[in-house]
Structure 1
């Protein structure tokens, strides 16, 4: 029996850069997509730009461009989408299409947070290793370092390379992490894809962890 699962991006749906790549890993599920920024104008989205000390998120819009927003502005919109997916679409579970940190949302169905899944997995496999963290934007490096240093892994290094920008910047960030002695790398954004993972692994010669596939396999375990 096919299960219906909601997928919520913090940007705009559909996430044609994410969902088609992971659908095959999820098993027998029907994905219903929506986004926290769906229905908003460019001006409304621009007004959500992060200020100093804000928690910074980077996401993709429907036209393929990327945008930086403050988490504060989208929490209520994400909760509204969760409520709608459960009440109107009848989903049996929800996956957030973002590896950022979020407060607990209210949901009567299982709600999967990629960052939580990622933290538990990486904490298990990276003990005793120097962890390299790749974030989409330089403004996220400090917050990423704080997050990954707080889970007891030990040595953490970070660099910025966006999955939504020139790929050369990703390869440069990979070289930076390699030069800093990273022994394992986590790509801390749902926008990174399988091709990017394989190329970073080739450049660095170390294991690379991809959030979208970690999350997709969790969906398969529950619903597939």
Structure 2
């Protein structure tokens, strides 16, 4: 229960989590950030970690010179973490993907989410790897499904690297440039919720459309 509570608090208030890490030391702080960003993408059964909001909050702390955190150190950390995470998940999918899906042990791997990810790959090819990086949950499944689908490592990697660099830089710099605004500081929790909603909304809309689209097709055939 302690671990579950820790994850819930991290989702609700990543700023407080980072502040508690800084109290321990800067090296553990960077290590925790690296680990969470890596695991979100690198381990298929952990798609609910708050990558977007964590990067934003970390960027806010680099804006605050009293925190000790700097962009010069943070950026390489958040660049490397998603790239290595994608590589890990791609090879997990390539070698063990079918067995993992058939086992049914990863509850987050619902048929709808798998179908959504596969549809993106079929439509966009390796470009889907880049686009998928900006969608929570999908960013976890994309490298995994890419490994299953037969996409070659040589096609996967350039788009994975580009997506990881752009995504991590975008949210870190958003935190850095907007974190000093008094309104953002005062309503930080609402900003985090807004980031989560905006990030998840396209995925939710896509799943709803896919579900209702399937429901309409049998109805059309029935006529």
TM-score (norm 1): 0.31
- Which has more helix, going by share of residues? 2
- Which has more strand, going by share of residues? 1
* Higher RCO, 1 vs 2 (CA within 8 Å, ≥6 residues apart): 2
